[in-house]
Structure formats: structure tokens, C-alpha cells
Structure 1
Amino acid sequence: MSKIFTFGFWNAIARLILRNRIIIILLIVGITAFFATQWKYMQFSFTEANLLPDDHEINQEYNDFLDKFGEEGNLIVMGIKDSTLFQEENFQAWKDLNDSLQKFPEVDYAISIGNLKKLKKFEDPKRFEMVPFIEEESPDSLELASYENELFSKMPFYENLVYSSHSNTIQSALYLNKEIVNSKARKDFVVDQLVPMIEKFKKDTGMDVHVSGMPYIRTLNSQNIVDEIGLFIAAALGVTSLIFFFFFRSIRATVISMLTVCIGVMWAFGTIGFLHYEITVLTALIPPLIIVIGIPNCIFLINKYQQEIQKHGNQAKSLQRVIAKVGNATLMTNITTASGFATFILTESKLLKEFGIVASINIIAIFILSLLIIPVVYSYMKIPKSKHLKHLNRQWIGGFVNWMEKMVRNHRIAVYFTSVALLATSIIGIYNIKISGSLLEDMPQEASFFKDVKFFEQEFDGIMPLEILIDTKRPKGVLKSSSLKRIEELENLIVEEPQLSKPLSITRLVKYSKQAYYNGNPKYYQLPTSQEQNFIIPYTKGMEGNDNLVNTYVDSTGQYARITTFMKDIGTDEMERIETSLWPKIHKIFPEERYEVTMTGKALVFQKGTTYLVKNLVVSLSLAIVLIALLMAWMFRSFRMILISLVPNLLPLLITAGMMGYLGVPIKPSTILVFSIAFGISVDDTIHFLAKYRQELKANNWKIKRSVYAALRETGVSMFYTSIVLFFGFSVFMISSFGGTVALGGLVSATLLFAMLSNLLLLPSLLLSLERSIANKETLKEPAMRIIATEEDEEEISKDDEAHKNHKLED
């Protein structure tokens, strides 16, 4: 085996660090300054997370749709449900607001009650023209009442487009320039122009305006992500520093630890900028994650330093032993944690790959920073006073360790019974877990824009666009009578689905043409017969200049038609039910030999991506387990020890999965991350415990019980400290307004708490119960590397100290 991880190597590293303190400080300052220059390259995401690979069939269908009709998520809607809207003053204010918004270059065109047009027939020459619905510049109350009545009773063309079929709600539609929908210009328009103007309107008129649409939702959601980054970092620093101070009762130790993790956060931001990654709902979690994961490193190093000071009072010797004796163990635990995150790189999702790369790199980086900064800073300080070492002998910690030992010694049957009962209960809960592909579920439910989504779901039956693309396989095939009738038949099927809104398509305009031909009589709002088409076609030539609506739903060749419906915020299961119901009927309406039909849209792509991601993350978690098992096999060189070590780490994952089933927390991108993250962190305790256990076995001449109890007393305190920090550190994420982040924080915290108890109670119980089969020299061979220093290593340190006893740390 390679000797680079031997204790002698770490002893040499210790001397190298302590003899080159100035160089190390300058190096850290230089790297930090470099990463600070990379912050300017950080970009905030202006699009939804695409969870599917670029070459996935669903993505290809969506991109094919965009090639024909352009960006489909460019609609912002504003709705008012107020009986006073058609009063003169309020109506004029609403019209002025919409007219002002339409003048912005970011808005291609707008449809509102003020600029509404209706189709009118003219005879000389024969033509249809779009004429203003409201002819007067400033209509009076009587005229407005007449227009209101006409809109709701005689203009079915605008149903669910301008007015709600459920109530008297009026809606304005802003179609943004498709070029700016996925850019910073969209954010600038929404945040700096649209929102202030709407707020002023609400203040001036006293009417409530509901705003929604994918560009609006995405903008405010992205802004919430940005706002929460600072909140998370401040909360993580505050919580971990308080806990750290409570344990150590040392302002100096707390400040040094906070300095270390703050530099780690700066490096994390710098890494994101250097790699030109976007700030998403996942990458925004990395800086506080670095704080939460970095603090346990500081606890191990500072705790060991203070133990050494208490033992012999020699600062130089203590600092050298901190690096030499704790460095290897801390490295291995950070590697296993980084491995849990690194498995995300193996998924096909760009979002998760970026998260895995940045997180795993910076977990190793925070280890290096801890190993360098803490010894170097302490080397310039005075030796800790006795009051700073009191926590090492704190009685309540001793009481906790005694309780653990009592449980393992006298109540192993109770430990096993509890574990089996929890396992059985969890398996039942797991069967109740559902997969959620809701695009809005993780968004802040207390935010006004989320409440507005519910308003539009109630009034207009949905806000999430679902697109159906119909290929007639021949130019001008869409406008043939047979194709229009098939499109209408499909629209009638969509209307029957309570989760979908009344569709928009070319049939609306065709029906409206017939209504206009019959002088606006609403009973003729229907598809014309073949004979009627012959009469109507001459009138349509006058509409050639008004082709916005035509181009929106039919491509330039006339071969492809688009049906747009809006769906409520439904999950994957409900969407699959709708698809299962619709597809057989679609194929019956549109024979596959004559038509090709695809279903797409942002919401559908996200839902399909969720299902795909869940499958990939199950594979990712399996790989994490295998990878860490192989790592432990290499460290301990024992297959039986691998099995024993995995049991107490897999049980907490199953308990958490069971909790998700009972609490109704669905499997989604945010919650599926819990398992890989928690497993990579919780296995650290197992490594510490088993390494100490093996060392005690050799020291105690292979006496099992004595070795287990000694390992439990030795590692129990540090495992408790780090688990408490991790528990409260991850709990910080529960202050988020994003449901997924709340679930992630709560579930990881719970899993790590279960993992601590499992490693402190179940693991030593298993070692004692299976002592005959595992505690022998054949099973526990000499490890591939020494994770914890042995007595022989202590002698090596003593010899090294003697050789360098005249070498003092320079001021």
C-alpha cells in the first residue's frame, strides 16, 4: 500500500505548515483575492431548471416547438376582479396603465380591454377588419356599461383571454419580446417598471391587481433566491458560532472558526464565478453548506489542540500533533462527504452536475483551509487558559457518554427492537411516498405572486402553459376543413379535463370569422361549413395585415398548428393520468399515418425532468453507497466491517424516507438530494468510531468489550458535538421561503440526528453481538492506512520532538 497516508507523512506535513506560516498566510490571501475577482462572473439564472439532458426526446420536442413558434413562456397576465372597474375614473386608470406598459420596448404587444379589437364585416369591398371595440377616447358610464355587457355576452372569442368564464374578472395580456424573456432585461422590466407601476395603480384606485405568467413568476422567484443567499449565510454563521461558543466557551476559538468558514464561503462564490455557473436554487445552498460542513473540521482540530495543551502544555508540540494526529481522519471524513456530493456529477442533469462539482471541490477546500488556518493562527497566540479547557471535563457530556455506554452494555435487545420497529414502520411509510413534478410547489407559498397563481387558477383554470403541436404533414394543411374539425374535437376533450383551461388555437379565429360574417351574432361562433367557407373566404383577404393571431397559432407554411392550454399546478401523477386519458383519444382523432401530434411546454418538460431526475438520483445514491463502501473496504480491509458499518448509516435514510411518506413530503429534486448528502456526512462518524475501535482492539489485546467501550467514550463526545452543529446548521435552511429548501434542511437535519444515535448505539451493539465473527486478527487486518495515531506513532512523535526540541516557533 502507498505510504503517502502514513503517520510519518502527516508528521512531515505538520512541520512543513508550521515552518512556513508566512508563506501559507500569503498564499491563502492571494487565492482569496483571486476568487474575489471571479465574483463578477457569477450569473443568476433567468430560466427554469431544465432537469433533462439536452439530447433527451422531450427536450428535442420542446426545442422543435420553439423553432416553429418561438418562446412560449413570454406571457404576463394582469387580472382585476372588481365591480368598480367599469366606472369612468377606474376604467381610464386601467386603460392608461396598459397603454403605458405597451410602449415599453420589452413588450411586443398587449391585449387589454382598452385596446381590444373586434372583427367587423364590410361590404364595399368585401373584407373583415379588426376595429376598436371601444370607439370613444373617454367613454362615459352608460357607454362603459354597454361595452361590459357586450364583452361578456357577445364576444366568446375573448373568453379566458380577456375575461373569465367563471366571473366578471378582466384580464390583460402582455406578450414580452421573445428575445429578452431569458435575459436580465426581463428582470429589469418586471422589477423596475412593471411592479412599481402596478403598485402605483393599486394605491391610486384602491383596486387589487393580480399579476402572473411565467416571466413574472420566474423573475420574482429568482429575486427571492438572491435575497435568501445572504440570509442563509448570516443565519448559518450565527447558529454555528453560537453552538460553537456554547461548546468551547472561547471567543478566540469561535472567531478563528468563523474566519475559516468565511474564507471558505468566499472561495465557494469564487468557484461558481470562475466556472461561469449560474446561481440557481441549488448552487445558492453551497455557501451555507460550506459553513455547516466546515465547522465540524474546526471542532475536531481545536478540540484536539486543547486536549494536547491540557496534557503537556507545550504549544509547538500540541500544534504539530493536531495536524499529525487529526489531519488524516479529517481528510477521510471530508472525502466521504465530498463523495456524496460528487455522485451528482454522474447524473445527466446540468443543474445537478454543477451543484456536485462546486460542492465537492469546496468541501475539500474547506478541509485544507481548516488544516492550514487553525494551527497557523494559534501559533501566533498565547496558550489557552485553563478556563478555555473546562469544557473538556464538562459533567453533562460525561453523563451523555455514560448513558450511551449503559444502553450498549445492558440494553442491546432494546436497541435492536427499536431499530427493527423503526425499519418496519419506515417501510410502510415509504410505500406512501409520491413523486411531485410541480413547477410551483417549491416556490414561496406566502409570496404574493404565489397567491396570484391560485387566483388565476380559480378564474382562468390555470397559468402553466401546456402546448400541443399538430403536424398535418402537408403545407396549408391546418386550414383545411377536416383539420380544423379535428382540432376542435381535441379542444372539446381538453375542456372536459378539470385541470386544464379552455384552449387557444386557430379555430377561435375561424369561428370568430363566421360570427363576424353573420354581423357579430354570438350564436354563429362556430366552425363554418364547407359552403359557408366559400362565402367567408373573400372577406378574409382584408385580414392579411392583421396576422398576429394567425402567426401565433399557425406556422408560416400552414403545416403546423398549435393548441395552447393552461394547466393548474398539478403534480406528476395527475399529469400522467391526463396524458393516459388523452393520448388514445388524440390518436383516434389524428390518425398517425396522416398527422403527428406532440405534447410539450415548460411545465410538462419540468415534470418529465423530475421523473427522470428521481431515477438518476436513485442510481446516484446507489453509487455513493458503493463508492463509500469501497473506500471503507480499502481503509479497513474487511468485508464484514463494511456490512456492519453500512447498517447504521442506511437505517437513518430509510427512517427519513418513511417520515416523508407519513408527512406527505413528495419525492422531488430538492428532497431526493437529502439521501446522498446525509449519507456522505453520516458515514464520517462511522469512520471515526471504527478507526478508534480497531486501534483499541490492538491496544487491549483483542478484548472486544473493553475496546468498544473505550472507542465509545473517546469518539462519543466529538461525534455528539459535530452532529449537533450539523443538525442546527442544516436546520437553518428551514427559514427559507422555498418549500424544497425547507424540506431539504429539515430532512437532512433529522437524518443526521438519527445517524448519530445509530452510530453511537446500534453500531457498537452490533460489534459486541457479533464479536466472535468480526473481532479477530483475520477479519481486522492491518488497515491500508492509519486514520488515528497509535502508540507507536506517539513514540515517533516523541523522538521527533526530541530531535527538534530546540526549534521554537518564530514570532
Structure 2
Amino acid sequence: MFKLLTTGFWEALARLILRNKIFILIAISIATVFLSMQWKNMRFTYTEANLLPDDHKVNLTYKAFLDIFGEEGNLIVLGVKDSSVFEVEKLNAWNALAEGFKAYDEIETVISIKDLQKLVKNTDKNQFDLEPFIKDSITSSQEIIKLQNDLFKKYPFYDNFLFNAETKTLRTALYLKKDIVNTSVRKDFIIEDLQAEIESFESAHNINVRVSGMPYIRTLNSQNIVDEIGVFIGAALLVTSLIFFLFFRSFRATFISLIVVCIGVMWTFGILGLLNYEITVLTALIPPLIIVIGIPNCIFLINKYQHEVKSHGNKVKSLQRVITKIGNATLMTNVTTASGFATFILTESKLLKEFGIVASLSILAIFILCLLIIPIIYTFLPFPKDRHLEHLNKRWIGGFVDWMERMVKHKKITIYTTAIILIMASMIGINQIKISGSLIEDMPKNKQFFKDIRFFEEEFNGIMPLEIMVDTKRKKGVMKLATLKRINEVEELIIETPELSKPISVVSLVKYSKQAYYNGNPKYYQLPTSQENSFILSYAKNSNSDVDLLKNFVDSTGQYARITTFMKDIGTDKMERIQEDIQNKINKVFPKERYNVSMTGKALVFQKGTKYLVRNLIISLSLAIFLISLFMAYLFRSFRMIIVSLIPNLLPLLVTAGLMGYLGVPIKPSTILVFSIAFGISVDDTIHFLAKYRQELQANHWKIRKSVYAALRETGVSMFYTSIVLFFGFSVFTISSFGGTVALGALVSITLLFAMLSNLLLLPSMLLSLERNIANKEVLRKPTIDIIPSEDEDLDNQE
């Protein structure tokens, strides 16, 4: 297929484009309209990113749990920490706020202080009755004192569920209907109804209400992603167009480039809609990414056109040469960039796979748009004026090129020493990199919902659910005293773990039943003895009071039980140690021949997914290196040149990884992307330099030193300009409120800056040092693809 990419092919393509310009513009317009119509299929994700394959063991365990107990992430919590809430009027208003939510169709259950009820022993009927702590409303401060005494001291069953006895913090629990948790209905309720009710309560009673819970966090986090897409696109357009204008000093050229990249962004959204993919925190990065990658394409093409016009004054000939000379080079660089993204397609992660597909298709699309639109538009425009060509005479960049040449000529030892020191320092830093499996680490720290997460962590030990499911392997096995005792032993370990909240399970209900049997005496809040068990449970069976509570802890057959606790946002290492401790306890307490016990929950699934992605990082990066190596082998027909070309591009990746270790930036889903993206982009400079170097060798009769310096001078300017565009373009992501996006932007920018210096200093130095073994006529045979034709052309313009 590469045989098509010859000079003859590009000349034929140039004639085809310029002779059918109206038809091509109509075709682009139709394609743009068609893809714009697909926008209606775009949707924003309503679930956490599942980083694991569907058939992964961890996902299967989680699905098995959901099949038995239903969606576990349907809890929204409201909290207040204000002493004035224990005034009669405000406490009644707090309870009324909770009561009002019961009228909403989206709400399944509301549990507030007013909904709490005592289990009371009814000796006449041999059953437990329910009596509310608050019958109608609070009428006096004495009732509040009695309520506090009951809840904070006498009934441990409710402690740390709706209140913190030590800090007097109150909480209300809203359980969404499970069938709407992962739909847009959840978003509409939270954004439109929930927040309006809370704001009204806060303004009326001057009390700050904290809100959290996984549905709430997910909704506001997704909304933040939506809000930032527009900001990213606007910032990327502003920064790249400003740099473009400073380079060309032409409003016309700048406007043309903006038109092209804006159409590219429209196509990207259309591809998302056409493939029916969700917009996630990763795919939201692609539209501004296309702007950042598209502008350098425009620079190459417009710069070449202006140089050609200045050289011979023939506009048609200039546009033909833009396509024939720059089309091939730009195609190769875009293909290598797309390859870096495309490696994610081969991972097992749906999140990364969708990101890779959309990004690689969008990069190829922006190349096609640049190649078609820019030459065609210039056919309709008048001949460039002298002021449009003034920037071609500027030599302010000459000082930088002179410095590079001096370094390569006289400071090769310094360059090698610096590279070795960087490698050694980076290896030390790499050993300090940690893996983060936190669900909330990347969330915007300055947003109120993130501050509320920290509030609930401090007051109630977290909001991220961790579930333990006990399979007794027989119906009604849960209520056996032996099973309850085993569950209780695991709960005791959870209670001793400061990073976990007080667990909730059927054991708590059974303990509460015993306390009720002994007339509410708190010292009897414990599991019944074998003698007590039968008649206490007989009271429970005769009563309807435990049905609603029991169904949340035990399945309908009585075979499965759940232990629910909530986690703080802790590091992956600490989370793994806690999981290991609990698992060891489970293995010790529950005989495997009689019980199947599994741990699951969203926090655990996400943590396991992050670990899984790290392995995918190694695979995708190795694959990117392999694919690009194959490409360069076919391009240069030299194994030795592959080695020489890879070293300057791997060094920046090592430096970046080392910086991550030193700066404490962990490996997580967002930062995992850095390496494959940066490698795919940075290798473009290597291809440009080596292609020009080979051309200079042929022109200079294989005089190696002369060819290296000539290639350095010719490519140095364009590599500098494109690196500046890419550096500031990716720096746009640092304005994000998401920590992971900030890290991604900063790390890719730094990597590309190092890659430019590496390709302009280390690569030519290696060519000079290894000239006898590598840079000779036998090694650099006729290429398969002529990226840069050997006729007399100014490469500075071609690139």
C-alpha cells in the first residue's frame, strides 16, 4: 500500500483536488452536516468509568452482588453540623425538608431523624412493635433533650448512621430508585430539584447543608466535565491561533486555520455520536486535542505555500507543491501520532478503547481536512501581499539554531553526559512512582461537592461503599447463630479500622432485637446466646417491624447476607492492606466448604481497574514503540536507524516518568495516557530530521558532517515552531479543575519539550558519533517512501 505514496501519486492527488475543488467543498459540507446530525446521539456518562473488561473476575463478582441486592450506589446524604439545628423550629424544618423529598417519584426511601423508630417488646402478642422517636413534630426544647439522650446514648443501632454522637452532626439519607441511578433522570432530579430544595432551606434557616453520596458526586462531576469541554475548546483555539498569528502575522491565514480546526472539532463530536459513545473524562479531551494537533498541520501547509509563492510567483504551481511536497510528510507524522492513540484500541479496557478509536479517527480526519481545505481556499484568494510574507525574512530564531549547531559540533560529551545523568536520575524517580486507585482524587478540589466529600469523611468515615457478600450455600442460612457470629467477627475488624465506617448488616438488626427484648437496655445491644436466639427471633418473626430493614441486609431466600461499610479516600497501598487484612479474617472465620464470601463495591472495582490499566499502559506503550519501529523500518530500511531513532524519543519518556516519581504524581487513568500520546507525537520530529538528513547525504555526496549540520539547520526552525504550538496547546489542559487532566497537560507538554531538545541535540550527536556504522550509503538505502523529495526544496517550508 505504501507504494501508492510516491511522488506520482501525490501529483495526481494534487491535480484531483485542485480541479474538483467545488465538488470537494460540497462533499466536506455534506459530511459536516451529516456528522453534526449525529450529535444528538452523544450522551454524557452517568456511571463511573469501568476500567476492567466485562468478563474480569472483579466485574463478575460485582455483577453477582448487584443481581442479588440491586444497585448499591443509590444513596444521597444530606448533613448539617450546626448547633442551632437543635432548636425547635430548625429541627422541625430539617425533618420537613426530608419529608418533602418523599413526594418525588425519583426517591425510593427517605430516612431522617423523624423516621427513626424504636423496636418495642409487645409481650401480649409475642412480637416487636415500632414506635417513632418523634411522633408528629418537636414542640419543646425538653423533647429535643430527650431525643438527644435516646439517640446519642441509648440506641447504638443508629449511631453513625444518621448522626455522629460526638460532634452532634445530623444526616438524612435519600435512596434513589435503583432503576434511575444510571440514567439521565438522576441528573435532572439532582440538578433541578434536589439543589433547589436545599438552597431554599439554607436561605430560609441560615444553615449550611452538606450533600454527598455516589449519585450526587457522579452527577456534579459529569456536569463539570460538560462545562469544561467548552472552556478547553475556547482556550485551545485562543492559544494556538495567537501563536499562529505571531508566527505568520496574517489575520487571513489565522482565520483559515481556525475554520479548518473548528470543522475538525465538529467531526470529532460527530464521530462520538456516530459510534454512540459516551463522553467521559477522557473522550472530553479529544476536541481540544484535535485543535492542538491540527494547527501544526496548518503551519506546515500555509508556510510551504507562502515560500513557494515568494520563490516563483506562480500560485497554482505553489498549491500543487503544497500537496505533493507537504502532503506526504504531514501524512506520515499524522499516522505516527494516530498510532500512539490507536494502541489503546487493543487494550481490554472499554474506556481506553473508545478513547483510542475516536482520537485516532479524529487525527486522520483533521489531516484530510487540512490537506483539502487549505489549498482549495487559497485558490479563491488573491495573491499574498508582501506583508503576508514578511515573516519569512525574520531571522530571530537564528540564535537558537546557532546554539544547537555549536552544541552538536563541540559539546557532544556534554550532551551524552547530560543524557546519562537524566537517565540515572529518572530511574531513581521511577522507583518512587505510586499507583492511585482513588475514585475522587482527580475531582476538582475547589468545588463544594469535593469539600462535602471531605466533610463526610471526617464526620462519618467516608461515602464510598465497600460491600462484603456472604453466601451461606443454603436457604435461611444467614439467620443461623453460627453465621451471625462469624459476620460479627468480621465487623469487629472493620470497626477497628479507622479508614472504614461502622458496618451495617443483619447482625446490627439482631443485636437491636435483643436490646428491644430487654426493654431497650443498651447493655443488651449484642448477639443473643443460643438459648435466647430462638425466642428473640420468634418475636421478630411475629412482627412486621423488621421486614423493611431486613430486606436491605438479607436476600429473599435467606441465603445471602451483606455487610456494608464506607471508605475514606485512601491511597491504593493502604486500601490493599485493609483489603488483605479483611480477607485474611474472612478466610479464618468462614470455612470455604460452607461459605462463599466476596468483597466488592465501587471503590474496590475502581482500585482494581487502575491496577489493571497499569498493565495496559506497558502493553500499549510497547505496542506503540513496536508499530512505529515497524513503520520506520519500512521507511528507512535500516534496523540500525530504528535503534538510533528510538533512543531520543524514549529518553523524554523516562525523564517524565522520573518527574512523576519526584513530584508525587501517581499512575492513574489520566496520567497513563501521557506516554503513548507523547511518544506518538514526538517521533514526528525524528522522522522529519532523518528524512532531511538522508536527503542531504544524497545531495552532498555522502559527506556526513555537512549533511548533519544542514539537516539540523533546516529542520530546527520548523521543529521549534511546532513544539512551541504543541507545548502551549497541551498546557491548555492545566486550566482544568480536574487534577488528572492538569497532570496530563503538564506532563505531555514537558515530554514534548524534552523530545524537541533530544531530537535536535542527542539525535544529530549520535549520527556524528556513529557515522561509520550507521550513517553511510549502505545503511541508508533508497527509502520505500519519499517523505521529502530530493529535488531542490526548502525543507523548512515543507515541514
Residue of structure 2 equivalent to 1:334: 334
Corresponding residue of 1:767: 767
The answer (yes or no) to whether the contact 1:165–1:460 under 8 Å persists in 2 is: no
Residue aligning to 1:753: 753
Contact 1:165 1:459 in 2 (8 A): no
AA aligned to 1:5 is L
Q: 1:237 & 1:213 partners in 2: Cα distance? A: 36
1:179-578 to structure 2, matched below 5 A, reads 179-544=179-544, 546-578=546-578
Contact kept? 2:47, 2:182, Cα under 8 Å: yes
User: How does 1:5-154 map onto structure 2 within 5 Å?
Assistant: 5-154=5-154
**Take 1:468 and 1:543, find their aligned partners in 2: how far apart are those partners?**
27
> Is residue 789 of structure 2 the alignment partner of residue 789 of structure 1?
yes
Partner of 2:620: 620
CA contact (8 A) 2:129 2:545 kept: no
Q: What are structure 2's unaligned runs of at least 5 residues?
A: 795-799
Determine the C-alpha separation between the residues in 1 that align with 2:393 and 2:793: 26
1:100 maps to amino acid? G
**Offset at 1:687?**
0.4
Compute the displacement of 1:546 (Å). 4.5
CA distance in 2, matches of 1:285, 1:227: 12
CA distance, structure 2, for counterparts of residue 129 and residue 447 of structure 1: 45
- Cα distance in 2 for partners of 1:24, 1:165 equals 72
User: Following TM superposition, by how much is the alpha carbon of 1:80 offset from its aligned partner in structure 2, in angstroms?
Assistant: 0.9
Contact 1:86 1:148 in 2 (8 A): no
Offset at residue 594 of structure 1 (A): 1.3
* Structure 1 residue 166: Cα displacement: 3.9
Aligned-partner SS, 2:597: strand
SS at match of 2:46: coil
Aligned-pair identity (%)? 68
The answer to which of 621-630 and 379-388 deviates more is: 379-388
For 1:248 and 1:548, the matched residues in 2 are separated by 72
| Structure 2 partner of 1:800 | none
Query: Aligned residue for 1:806?
Result: none
1:606 counterpart = 2:606: yes
Query: Residue 7 of structure 1 contacts residue 793 of structure 1 at CA under 8 Å; is this kept in 2?
Result: no
Distance of aligned partners of 1:752 and 1:2 in 2 relative to their CA distance in 1, 3 Å threshold: closer
Give the Cα separation in 1 of the matches to 2:188 and 2:143: 38
Amino acid at match of 2:359: A
TM-superposed CA distance for 1:2, in Å, is 5.1
Q: 1:514-550 deviations in whole A, cap 9, x for unaligned?
A: 1111111111111111211233233213433651210
Which secondary structure does the structure 2 equivalent of 1:557 belong to? coil
- Look up the SS of the partner of 2:684 in the other structure: helix
Structure 2 residue identity aligned to 1:724: I
Contact in 1 for aligned 2:61/2:600 (Cα 8 Å): yes
Deviation by residue 1:620-668 (Cα, 9 ceiling, x = unmatched): 1000000001000000001111000001000000000000000000001
Q: Letter of the aligned partner of 2:732 in structure 1? A: V
Displacement, 1:139? 2.4
Moved more, 784-793 or 662-671: 784-793
* Partner of residue 161, structure 2: 161
| TM-fit CA distance, 1:105 | 1.1
Decide whether the 8 Å contact of 2:130 with 2:545 is kept in 1.
no
1:123 deviates by 2.2
Residues in 1 aligned to 2:260 and 2:71: alpha-carbon distance in whole angstroms? 45
- What is the correspondence of 1:626-775 to structure 2 with a 5 Å cutoff? 626-775=626-775
Structure 1: distance between partners of 2:467 and 2:481: 22
Segments of 5+ residues of structure 1 without an aligned counterpart are: 795-811
TM-superposed CA distance for 1:291, in Å, is 0.3
Q: Secondary structure at the match of 1:76?
A: strand
Letter in 2 for 1:200: S
Distance in 2 (CA, whole Å) between partners of 1:118 and 1:264 is: 63
Cα 1:33/1:136, change in 2 over 3 Å: closer
DSSP 3-state at the match of 2:538: helix
Q: Structure 1 residue 323: deviation in Å?
A: 0.5
Return the offset for 1:551.
Answer: 0.8
**TM-score between both structures, scaled by the size of structure 2:** 0.98
**Structure 2 residue aligned with 1:804:** none
**Structure 1 residues 579, 537: CA separation in 2 closer, same or farther (over 3 Å shift)?**
closer
- Could you report, residue by residue, the CA deviation over 1:57-90 in whole angstroms, capped at 9, with x for unpaired residues? 1000000000100000001111111111110111
What SS class does the counterpart of residue 131 from structure 2 fall into? strand
1:759 partner SS:
helix
> Residues of 1 paired with 2:172 and 2:238: CA distance?
46
- 1:50 is aligned with what amino acid? N
1:473 offset after TM fit, Å?
1.1
- SS of the residue corresponding to residue 520 of structure 2 reads coil
Mapped to 2, the partners of 1:394 and 1:93 lie a distance apart of: 72
In 1, the alpha carbon distance for the partners of 2:114 and 2:545 equals 21
Q: Secondary structure at the match of 2:321?
A: helix
Q: CA deviation at 1:152?
A: 0.4
Indicate conservation of the 8 Å contact 2:540/2:546, yes or no. no
Distance across 2 between alignment mates of 1:49 and 1:674 = 18
* Greater CA drift, 143-152 or 641-650: 143-152
Q: Assess if the C-alpha contact under 8 Å between 1:79 and 1:169 holds in 2.
A: yes
Secondary structure at 1:671 match in 2: coil
Q: Matched residue of 1:437: which SS?
A: coil
Deviations 1:283-302 (A, max 9, x none): 10110010001111001101
Separation of aligned partners in 2, 1:2 and 1:80: 67
Which region of structure 1 is more displaced relative to structure 2, 119-128 or 451-460? 119-128
SS in 2 for 1:260: helix
Indicate how the Cα distance of structure 1 residues 64 and 786 shifts in structure 2: closer, same or farther if over 3 A, else same: same
Which residue pairs with 1:580 in the alignment?
A: 580
The letter of the residue matching 1:363 is I
Change (3 A) 1:341 1:471: same
Partner SS state of residue 175, structure 2: strand
Give the letter for the 2:46 counterpart: F
- Which position in structure 1 is the counterpart of 2:797? none
State the shift of 1:209 in Å. Answer: 1.1
One-letter amino acid of the structure 1 residue matched with residue 57 of structure 2: E
2:82 and 2:332 map into 1 onto residues whose CA distance is 64
Query: Comparing 706-715 with 339-348, which one deviates more in the overlay?
Result: 706-715
> More deviation in 623-632 or 149-158?
149-158
**Cα distance change on mapping 1:552 and 1:788 into 2, 3 Å:** same
How many angstroms does 1:3 deviate by?
Answer: 3.0
SS for the counterpart of 2:113 is coil
Residues in 1 aligned to 2:516 and 2:141: alpha-carbon distance in whole angstroms: 27
Which residue matches 1:799?
none
Letter of the 1:216 counterpart: Y
Query: 2-side partners of 1:711 and 1:449: how far apart?
Result: 54
Q: Give the distance between the partners of 2:42 and 2:295, measured in 1 at CA.
A: 26
* Contact residue 649 and residue 683 of structure 2 kept, 8 A: yes
> How many residue pairs get matched?
794
1: CA distance, partners of 2:545 / 2:132: 15
Matched-pair contact (CA < 8 Å) for 2:128–2:545: no
CA distance in 2, matches of 1:240, 1:359: 19
Counterpart-to-counterpart distance in 2, 1:528 and 1:698:
92
- Map Cα deviations across residues 681-711 of structure 1 (whole Å, 9 max, x no partner): 0000000110000000000000011111111
- Asked whether the equivalents of residues 138 and 144 of structure 2 are also in contact (C-alpha less than 8 Å), the reply is no
Distance 2:312 2:493 in 1: 83
8 A contact 1:166–1:459 mirrored in 2: no
